[in-house]
């Protein structure tokens, strides 16, 4: 029996594949490299010394995807493949709805047809909208501010509807906070296309000399230093969260929802400082206007994942920065 990983060559996907292979799971990766690089697959093999099956398939193509279900005995699916740039989703909403929703519907449809029962879904803290109390627990009200977030919330709703009527369907909705860091080998890591939207890859590209300076979006938030606060989580901790979620699904648990964060909130300037310490490089920055759609603060209560999955983030800010720097300095241009 195999685990199908969609988006397995991407940032979180590749780290999760490494953890699963290390646990001796049989892995099938489906990816179309729309926002990732095939080199990451070689690197996964280099790290683990293990083999896996790979299909270059776009999950919106149900016919092609069906071949993967036909040719394999799939036990569980972890669905990472999706578009994820918030800003772009505002300008190209249809692109996001078509890709993120259709790919998920195809997978769910094929799961039904081929009697696959376990599904792990990559959701995001973005489904909490603009929360007014902290830390955020899973029962907080849900809302979104952009089409990317809307696709995450719509898919959560679809999964809840299915689980309501199909008691044999096991689904883990994992709401990620802000993934950063890289595998300790420095062989795999975050490799955004073009200029990064997210903070950590931006900082690391300034440190390595690819970008001149960081624009800090807003210095007048009601936070300890005026800059935005987030719950940054090491991508390896996040990957282990998926392994634990899969174990949970194998107990026939039905639908479960977990926040995956550390519970610590760090500001943009905290991150700059920690990165400078880890890299011994200066990170130039300037404070500019707030970015539209940003919330002042966001951090998780992950007690539920701790209690029910036995999962807890073990890496701190120092490792997050050191591992990001190892990846970025060994691969100044990512996988290219
Ligand atoms: C963003 C998305 C979120 C998504 C997540 C995926 C928005 C509003 N939210 O989270 O839905 O799930 O990415 O990783 O985009 N910052 C700067 N300068 C930069 C970049 C970021 O100051 O060049 C600041 C931001 O204002 C924020 C913090 O850094 O305070 C983190 O930003 P980012 O890494 O983009 O993540 P989020 O916005 O939290």
Query: pLDDT digits over 204-221, tens only?
Result: 999 999 999 999 999 999
Residue 335 lies in a domain: no
Q: Which residues pair with 6 in a beta bridge?
A: 30, 79
Task: Return the ligand 1 atom nearest residue 217 CA.
Answer: 22
- The preferred substitution site among 15, 131, 197 for testing ligand 1, maximizing ligand atoms within 8 Å of CB, is 197
Residue 208 lies in a domain: no
pLDDT value for 132: 86
Residue 206 lies in a domain: no
- The preferred substitution site among 122, 291, 292, 324 for testing ligand 1, maximizing ligand atoms within 8 Å of CB, is 291
Long-range pairs for 95-98: beta carbons < 8 A, 24 or more residues apart: 96/147, 96/148, 96/151, 97/147, 97/150, 97/151, 98/60
Q: How far is the CA of 291 from the centre of ligand 1 (A)?
A: 9
> For 69-84, b where at least 16 C-beta lie within 10 A, e where not — what string?
beebebbbbbbbbbbb
pLDDT value for 307: 98
Q: How far is the CA of 118 from the centre of ligand 1 (A)?
A: 31
Please state the length of the chain: 336
Angstrom distance (rounded) from CA 235 to CA 260: 10
Domain interval for residue 135? 2-180+232-261+299-314
Angstrom distance (rounded) from CA 18 to CA 103: 24
CATH of the domain at 149: 3.40.50.720
Under 8 Å between Cβ of 2 and 27: yes
Q: How far is the CA of 294 from the centre of ligand 1 (A)?
A: 7
pLDDT value for 129: 95
148 a catalytic residue:
yes
Determine the straight-line distance between the first and last CA of the chain, rounded to whole angstroms: 34
Residue 173 lies in a domain: yes
Give the residue, by CA position, lying nearest to ligand 1 atom 4: 126
Of the candidates 248, 240, 125, the residue with the CA atom closest to the CA atom of residue 181: 240
For the chain, what is the domain count? 1
Q: What is the pLDDT along the chain (336 residues), one digit of tens a residue?
A: 999 999 999 999 999 999 999 999 999 999 999 999 999 999 999 999 999 999 999 999 999 999 999 999 999 999 999 999 999 999 999 999 999 999 999 999 999 999 999 999 999 999 999 998 999 999 999 999 999 999 999 999 999 999 999 999 999 999 999 999 999 999 999 999 999 999 999 999 999 999 999 999 999 999 999 999 999 999 999 999 999 999 999 999 999 999 999 999 999 999 999 999 999 999 999 999 999 989 999 999 999 999 999 999 999 999 999 999 999 999 999 999
Tokens 């689980």 belong to 163
Q: Which helix (H) or strand (E) holds 170?
A: strand 170-176
Token pair in block for residue 281: 């490089």
pLDDT tens-digit series, residues 28-73: 999 999 999 999 999 999 999 999 999 999 999 999 999 999 999 9
Angstrom distance (rounded) from CA 25 to CA 27: 6
Residue 281 lies in a domain: no
Residue 103 lies in a domain: yes
Ligand 1 proximal residues by C-beta, below 6 Å: 84, 86, 124, 126, 149, 178, 197-199, 202, 214-217, 228, 230, 268, 291, 293-294
Q: Alpha helices, DSSP H only, in 97-198?
A: 102-113, 147-165
Residue 137 lies in a domain: yes
DSSP assignment letter at 106: H
Q: How far is the CA of 20 from the centre of ligand 1 (A)?
A: 28
Angstrom distance (rounded) from CA 253 to CA 173: 12
11, 55, 83, 148: the catalytic one is 148
Residue 218 lies in a domain: no
Angstrom distance (rounded) from CA 164 to CA 280: 53
Give the residue, by CA position, lying nearest to ligand 1 atom 29: 199
Q: How far is the CA of 199 from the centre of ligand 1 (A)?
A: 6
Give the residue, by CA position, lying nearest to ligand 1 atom 36: 198
């Amino acid at each position: 029996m195999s685990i199908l990983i969609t988006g397995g060559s991407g940032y979180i996907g590749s780290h999760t594949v490494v953890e699963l292979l290390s646990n001796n799971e049989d892995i099938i990766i489906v990816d179309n490299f729309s926002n990732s690089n095939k080199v990451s697959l070689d690197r996964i093999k280099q790290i683990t010394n293990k083999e896996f099956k790979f299909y270059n398939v776009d999950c919106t193509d149900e016919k092609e995807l069906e071949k993967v279900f036909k040719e394999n005995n799939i036990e569980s699916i972890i669905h990472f493949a999706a578009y994820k740039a918030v800003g772009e989703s505002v300008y190209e909403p249809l692109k996001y709805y078509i890709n993120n929703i259709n790919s998920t519907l195809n997978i769910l449809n094929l799961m039904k047809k081929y009697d696959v029962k376990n599904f792990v879904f990559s959701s995001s803290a973005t489904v909490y909208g603009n929360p007014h109390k902290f830390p955020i627990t899973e029962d907080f009200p849900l809302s979104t501010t952009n089409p990317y977030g809307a696709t995450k919330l719509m898919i959560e709703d679809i999964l809840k509807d299915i689980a309501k009527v199909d008691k044999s369907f096991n689904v883990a909705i994992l709401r990620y906070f802000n993934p950063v860091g890289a595998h300790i080998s420095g062989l795999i890591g975050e490799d955004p296309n073009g200029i990064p939207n997210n903070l950590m890859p931006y900082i690391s590209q300034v440190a390595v000399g690819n970008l001149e300076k960081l624009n800090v979006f807003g210095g007048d938030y009601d936070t300890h230093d005026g800059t935005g606060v987030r719950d940054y989580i090491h991508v390896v901790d996040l990957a282990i969260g998926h392994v634990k979620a899969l174990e949970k699904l194998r107990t026939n648990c039905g639908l479960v929802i977990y926040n995956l964060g550390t519970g610590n909130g760090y500001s943009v300037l905290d991150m700059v400082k920690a990165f400078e310490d880890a890299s011994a490089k200066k990170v130039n920055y300037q404070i500019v206007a707030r970015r539209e759609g940003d919330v002042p603060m966001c951090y998780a209560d992950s007690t539920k994942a701790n209690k029910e999955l036995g999962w807890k983030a073990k890496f701190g800010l120092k490792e997050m920065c050191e591992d990001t720097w190892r990846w970025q300095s060994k691969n100044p241009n990512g996988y290219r």
